[in-house]
Amino acid sequence: MTRSSIAVAFAVILAAVGTGAVAQPAMPPAAPAAAPVAETAASDIARRMLAAARAGDDAFIAFSRDANARPFPDDALRTMRGQLAGLQVHALISATPTHAEFTVFDPQLESWGVLGLNVTAEEPHKINGLTMQPGRHPPDVADTPRLQPAALVAAVRQRLEAAAKADRFSGAVLIAENGKTLLDAAYGLADREAKAPNTTDTQFRFGSMGKMFTAVSIMQLAQAGKLDLTAPIGRYLPGYPNRDIANHVTVDNLLTHTGGTGDIFGPQFEAHRLELKTPQDYVALYGARAPLFAPGARNQYSNYGFMLLGRIVETVSGQSYDDYIAGHIFKPAGMTATGNQPETVRLPKRVTGYMTRKGQIVSAAETLPWSGTPAGGGYSTVGDLAKFADALMADRLLDAAHTRLLTDGGFTGADGKFWRYDFGAPAGDGRRYYGHNGGAPGMNGELRIFPASPPKNGDKGHPAATIVVLANRDPPAATGVANFITDRLP
């Protein structure tokens, strides 16, 4: 990895604005704006930081060198500028001499957030903290109008055509309502060198969306009585190197990212990227690590945790992970274009992913793992992912009770805090939906499955809907589109 951990964390926090608070709730008419908050040194520095971000890389780097309490590499600052440049300040929420918070709107992500900035108490004030958290739709901003199907499709087409023309979107989109496809379209180039266009049959890499198949596989084995979700993973991975993890981390912990099992990306991954070919290879490399925290103490996203779940699928089922999901998920769902084939296998419809580095659009091939894994990285089409959504919600992959458990269930810690499984409805504003997103250099994907909702408390109710967006560009290429659609669903 070339970016600093601070920059990576900041990028992830910003991306969370698009995943945790994407759908605007039904709200009363816009309320009057609140009384203005008095500006302080912290709020002034925040406004100057955003102005510098809008002015370009050179201006932002120059500002940051002077304004930050500690130095950052220029590449990290360029990444940070890219996340800040488009933010639109709606209101200053609070301000003290050392801290300021703003309600901001990110038009790329089509979502609201809260930007926080901390500065040192002593003069000259220097930035020593920067955060972005999901935010709610402000009450003094009119709600986004809900659109009927024909108008929704027209609005989405207009947005996508403009984004593709400006080279900001390259991918495919599918929208369905009550099982009927409303939009199935593709934009941009699958291969920029060959000038080959994307189509609705293009196979896009989907990043962490592959975790959905792992979660369903685990739930199928639980339904069959072959696996206990509350059991420690050592029951299914005998001889696991770190006995603390083996004896105390449960399957539920892995499904909810509460096991403290850590990530896979970093120097070790970079050194062994093309040698890691099976879940067992990842266990051999990372299995001796101690847990980052006690199981259930907190939630921290863990790609390695899903590698362990994939390995459990293998030991319990007696099949390789890829064979299991092919036979138990892809086949019953009718998915014929989805898989984890290695990058060395030529698939004519598999897209080339493109990342932006120092303002240039370049191939992301050098960042890819050997193949897709239980933690993600495989490939699919918008049509196949819609079939997966249909099969899941029709209880063709699980019985009704285990479908509900997958989408609504989770783990309750000793402190009483409830963590949903990594397939459940996200927290935040608006309608509940199920599914997963994924993002990495040169890839971004979203699957959102909205159950039908009956009329309630004056709300007219909503039909069932599915949104699939896949892109062969960096996040938030697909997330912004998915948010745009979500906010306008009837």
| Overall number of domains in the chain | 2
Q: Identify whether 156 is part of a domain.
A: no
Give the pLDDT of the chain (490 residues) as one tens digit per residue: 222 222 333 333 333 333 332 233 333 344 555 678 899 999 999 999 999 999 999 999 999 999 998 888 887 888 789 889 999 999 999 999 999 999 999 988 888 899 999 999 999 999 999 998 878 889 899 888 889 999 999 999 999 999 999 999 999 999 999 999 999 999 999 999 999 999 999 999 999 999 999 999 999 999 999 999 999 999 999 999 999 999 999 999 999 999 999 999 888 888 888 889 999 999 999 999 999 999 999 999 999 999 999 999 999 999 999 999 999 999 999 999 999 999 999 999 999 999 988 778 999 999 999 999 999 999 999 999 999 999 999 999 999 999 999 999 999 988 889 999 999 776 545 678 999 999 999 999 999 999 998 888 777 888 999 999 999 999 999 999 999 999 999 8
DSSP SS3 for 347: coil
- My answer on whether 345 and 464 are in the same domain is yes
Residues 404, 408, 413, 416, Cα dihedral to 10°:
-120
309 and 456 in a single domain? The answer is yes
CATH of the domain at 123: 3.10.450
Prediction pTM value? 0.85
Instruction: Pick the last residue of a domain from 69, 104, 134.
Output: 134
Which residue type sits at 56? G
Residue 289 has phi, psi (to 5 degrees) of -65, 145
What whole-number distance in Å separates Cα of residue 43 and Cα of residue 50?
A: 11
In a domain, 88, yes or no: yes
Among 75, 108, 134, residue at a domain's last position: 134
**Within a domain: 394:** yes
N-to-C CA span, the chain: 42
**Same domain, yes or no, for 336 and 446?**
yes
Beta-carbon contacts of residue 292 (< 8 Å; ≥ 6 apart)? 260, 261, 262, 300
- Domain coverage including residue 330: 207-486
In contact, 172 and 479? CB cutoff 8 Å: no
CA distance 275 to 271: 9
